[in-house]
Amino acid sequence: MLSLIVRAGRKLCLVPTLSGLDQMDGLNLFGSLVAPWQWQHTHEGILQLLQDDKSDCDHKLRESWRRFCWDNFCAQNRRDSRQFALEPYTPARYRAARRLFGHTSKHGRAVLTGAANSPSCYQKMYEHIATAGCGMCRDCLVFPDWYHLTWKCPCFAAGRPPEPADAIQLRLAWPPSDADPDYNDAVLSHMAAVRAKVWTFAPSSRGRRTHD
């Protein structure tokens, strides 16, 4: 669901005519139908399809779709989803994440969309159990989870920026609105480098081309 948020950009908009069930279903995602051609959204207010300016309608529809995708991500049975369950969608954070997504590598995009996994995660996926022992720093007592690799593992200490205080930036590199842009770039660059290293050893990267 995160990839739907940061990939959509400004492409999501209302079509000139509404003639299909899918289009009506999309509008119904905006909120509650309160009058003919009028929808009420908790955060975006009233959308009056026949009266409002098209660009305003498009903006409200995009924002409601991004909120919908964020809420669906937070409702998934993932550890990071559960961690962010109480974190609201904020347009300013989305815009910052979208800017980063537009000029980063495929590994940076994996970080931003929640697709950067740790050796512990791959162990759970393929062996159904995670065991202690980091193959990068050779510490046999720690679990090689994403937090350890990105912010604690000595193997990735070179060039590592200070650990983010913001929980979402710590895991997904989505910066808060008041963060320094240079710091945001450094955080994502570091996390992308970690993901690139982990990806070379990941079971899913062996023997086939990847398109992440």
Q: What is the DSSP string of the chain?
A: -HHHHHHHTT-----SS--SHHHHHHHHTT-EEEETTEEEETTTEEEETTTS-HHHHHHHHHHHHHHHHHHHHHTSSSHHHHHTTTPPP-HHHHHHHHHHHHTS-HHHHHHHTT----HHHHHHHHHS---S--TTT--TTS---HHIIIII-GGG-TTPPPPPSSHHHHHH----TTS-HHHHHHHHHHHHHHHHHHHHH-GGGSSS----
Answer whether 0.85 is exceeded by the pTM: no
Shared domain check, 78 and 44 = yes
Domain, as residue range, for 73: 2-83
What integer pLDDT is reported at residue 15 of this predicted model? Answer: 36
Residues 17 and 65 in one domain: yes
- State whether 78 and 97 are in the same domain: no
Q: State whether 76 and 143 are in the same domain.
A: no
Domain co-membership, 28 together with 65: yes
175 and 78 inside one domain: no
**Mean per-residue pLDDT pooled into runs of 10, the chain (212 residues):** 54 38 50 75 76 81 83 85 86 89 94 92 89 93 95 95 95 92 96 94 55 39
Question: What's the structural domain count of the chain?
Answer: 2
Q: pLDDT value at position 2?
A: 59
Among the candidates 27, 58, 83, a domain finishes at 83
Q: Cα(203)–Cα(19) distance, rounded to whole angstroms?
A: 46
pLDDT of residue 32: 73
Q: Are residues 78 and 9 in the same domain?
A: yes
